[in-house]
């Protein structure tokens, strides 16, 4: 199969590595010439260019640019594509992307591989990034079944765990488990660094261990991605943040009133709920 990848960064580069390794012809398009040269030198693409012309024979094209440029990229790309080409993106928000692209390209299916690292760019790309990780596709009732079938096969060939859902449901779910945690974790770091006593702050730096590492990880990631989540999933993220603030207030009230039984009830509920979200063993730290 001829597979196009637009945006050879962490996600696009990782897709290129796996799909090229499987024997597909991979055609890369990226903004900078040096990135295209680098991708060819690494042997993860067959062709790479800064223009879209080489994609005229692509069976499937993955849009892997930052969210903010996906729409304008599609406008420049589609004059080069045969109408049979399946177009998909990897953006972490789906509703606005699907709403913008599906009307102009019926063979478009929104996608979101739920895998990544704190790094970005082609240097961060790695083999098997998507293996055993969720990969969400958000086809519409109008999406041609053959396009869904072909993309499904590619996603499964990456070893990913496929989920199909509505774009709006995707955005609501990721607001809870991905976008809210980024903002909560960022505010945790902000709170810690606002400690006015430099001696206490230095001691906190020295004492921080696995508990702080776990809870601060996503707040210390790529700022551009965080801004894009907030911009494109603004309504759902604000709704989640408002609910979060209510729960934080409830915890504060329990502590202010020294209502330890109520606090214990809440922490017991969260202890019981957590394993349904994550299956790793609980840490004591």
Q: Which is nearer to ligand NAP, 133 or 204 (CB)?
A: 133
Cα gap 82→52, rounded to integer Å? 13
Closest distance of CB 115 from ligand NAP, Å: 6
To the nearest 10°, report the CA torsion of 70, 76, 82, 88.
Answer: 0
Cα gap 95→93, rounded to integer Å? 6
Q: Is 8 in the site for ligand NAP (CB under 6 A)?
A: yes
Over 212-281, what HEC string results?
HHHHHCHHHCCHHHHHHHHHHCHHHHHHHHHHHHHHHHHHHHHHHCCCHHHHHHHHHHHHHHHHHCCCCC
Closest distance of CB 148 from ligand NAP, Å: 20
CB 237 within 8 A of CB 227: no
Q: Which is nearer to ligand NAP, 45 or 122 (CB)?
A: 122
Name which position in 67, 78, 174, 180 contacts ligand NAP (CB under 6 A).
67
Q: Is 274 in the site for ligand NAP (CB under 6 A)?
A: no
Distance of CA 39 to the CA centre of its chain: 22
CB 127 within 8 A of CB 17: yes
Name which position in 3, 17, 19, 35 contacts ligand NAP (CB under 6 A).
35
Strands of 30-82 (E only): list them.
47-49, 60-63
Q: Is 87 in the site for ligand NAP (CB under 6 A)?
A: no
Q: Which is nearer to ligand NAP, 50 or 268 (CB)?
A: 50
Q: Is 54 in the site for ligand NAP (CB under 6 A)?
A: no
Name which position in 25, 56, 59, 66 contacts ligand NAP (CB under 6 A).
66
Name which position in 4, 28, 54, 116 contacts ligand NAP (CB under 6 A).
116
Q: Is 134 in the site for ligand NAP (CB under 6 A)?
A: no
Tell me phi and psi for residue 60, to 5 degrees: -135, 140
Residues 236-265 that bind ligand NAP (CB under 6 A): none
Binding segment toward ligand NAP, per CB under 6 A, in 5-13, 146-154, 261-269, 275-283: 5-13
Cα gap 213→220, rounded to integer Å? 10
Q: Is 91 in the site for ligand NAP (CB under 6 A)?
A: yes
Q: Which is nearer to ligand NAP, 69 or 189 (CB)?
A: 69
Q: Is 233 in the site for ligand NAP (CB under 6 A)?
A: no
Name which position in 15, 17, 225, 240 contacts ligand NAP (CB under 6 A).
225
Q: Is 143 in the site for ligand NAP (CB under 6 A)?
A: no
For residues 121-140, one letter each, b for 16 or more C-beta atoms within 10 angstroms of the residue's C-beta and e for the rest, the string is ebebbeeebbeeeebbbbbe
- Number of neighbouring beta carbons within 10 Å of residue 153: 11
13 half-sphere exposure, CB direction, 13 A CA radius? 23
Binding segment toward ligand NAP, per CB under 6 A, in 19-27, 29-37, 131-139, 262-270: 29-37
Give the binding site for ligand NAP (CB under 6 A): 6-12, 30-32, 35, 64-67, 69, 73, 90-92, 113, 116, 120-122, 225, 228
């Amino acid at each position: 199969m001829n597979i196009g990848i637009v945006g050879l960064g962490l996600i696009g580069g990782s897709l290129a590595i796996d799909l090229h390794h499987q024997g597909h012809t991979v055609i890369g398009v990226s903004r900078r010439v040096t990135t295209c040269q680098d991708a060819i030198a690494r042997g993860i693409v067959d062709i790479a260019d800064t223009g879209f012309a080489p994609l005229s024979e692509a069976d499937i094209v993955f849009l892997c640019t930052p969210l903010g440029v996906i729409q304008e990229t599609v406008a420049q790309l589609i004059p080069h594509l045969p109408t049979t080409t399946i177009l998909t993106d990897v953006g972490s928000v789906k509703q606005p992307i699907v709403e913008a692209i599906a009307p102009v390209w019926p063979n478009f299916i929104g996608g979101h591989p739920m895998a990544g690292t704190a790094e970005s760019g082609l240097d961060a790309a790695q083999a098997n990034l998507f293996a055993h990780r969720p990969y969400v596709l958000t086809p519409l009732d109008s999406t041609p079944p053959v396009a869904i079938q072909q993309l499904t096969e590619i996603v499964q060939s990456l070893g990913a765990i496929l989920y199909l859902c509505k774009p709006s449901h995707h955005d609501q779910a990721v607001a809870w488990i991905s976008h809210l945690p980024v903002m909560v974790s960022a505010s945790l770091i902000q709170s810690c660094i606002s400690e006015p006593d430099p001696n206490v702050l230095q001691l906190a730096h020295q004492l921080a261990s696995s508990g702080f590492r776990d809870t601060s990880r996503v707040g210390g990631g790529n700022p551009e991605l965080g801004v894009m989540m907030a911009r494109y999933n603004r309504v759902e993220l604000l709704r989640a943040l408002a609910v979060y603030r209510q729960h934080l207030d409830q915890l504060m009230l329990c502590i202010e009133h020294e209502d330890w039984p109520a606090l214990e009830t809440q922490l017991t509920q969260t202890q019981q709920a957590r394993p349904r979200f994550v299956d790793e063993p609980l840490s004591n730290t």
